[in-house]
Amino acid sequence: MKLRDNYQEAVKIFQPKPSYFLNAVKAFFVGGLICGIGQALQNFYIKFFTLDVSVAQHMVLGTFILLATLLTGMGVYDKIGQFAGAGSMIPITGFANSLASAALEHRSEGAVLGIASNMFKVAGAVIVYGVVIAYILGVIHYLFWNIF
């Protein structure tokens, strides 16, 4: 245990200190840029394709998923993610990136056992936690607005 503590102290000297403020600023601006592009796309779909707002929102989501998957395949989205951190991982583009990365990483194992199974490993956790949180919030909503 003593050797491990000494090692940890020695490593701390050489580790660069993260700039939390700069990381937060980069995440804020890149996330805002992604959202701004989404709003511009929504306005474009509404104006030029005369779509309803809800349909245009779905088109934006589909466009973002397609773009994030293509950029992940070309290796560009990973660089954006390294620069922006959570600013690029929080929107739906981050989820598309994680699925595409899992598929690319295990493509040598085949279509079913490699690509599909690893994509479901990532997506499965998101779906399970999403359903659980939606249930909990639904119960809280019911309790506060119908009982109290």
Query: pLDDT tens, 65-120?
Result: 999 989 998 999 999 999 998 888 877 888 888 888 877 777 777 777 777 777 77
Is the distance from CB of 113 to CB of 89 less than 8 angstroms? Answer: no
Residue 12 lies in a domain: no
For the ranges 95-99, 124-128, 130-134, which has the lowest average pLDDT? 124-128
Residue 90 lies in a domain: yes
Residue 78 lies in a domain: yes
Residue 13 lies in a domain: no
143: CB partners within 8 A, 6+ apart: none
Residue 132 lies in a domain: yes
Residue 24 lies in a domain: yes
Residue of 87, 93, 85, 46 lying closest to 67 (CA atoms): 93
Question: Structural domain tally of the chain?
Answer: 1
Q: What is the pLDDT of residues 25-60, one digit of tens each?
A: 999 999 999 999 999 999 999 999 999 999 999 999
Residue 64 lies in a domain: yes
- Core vs surface per residue 100-122: b (16+ CB within 10 A) or e: bbbbbebeeeeeeebbeebbeeb
Dihedral sign for Cα 46, 49, 50, 53, please. negative
**Domain hosting residue 127, numbered range:** 19-147
Residue 76 lies in a domain: yes
Q: Give CA–CA dist 67/89, Å, rounded.
A: 14
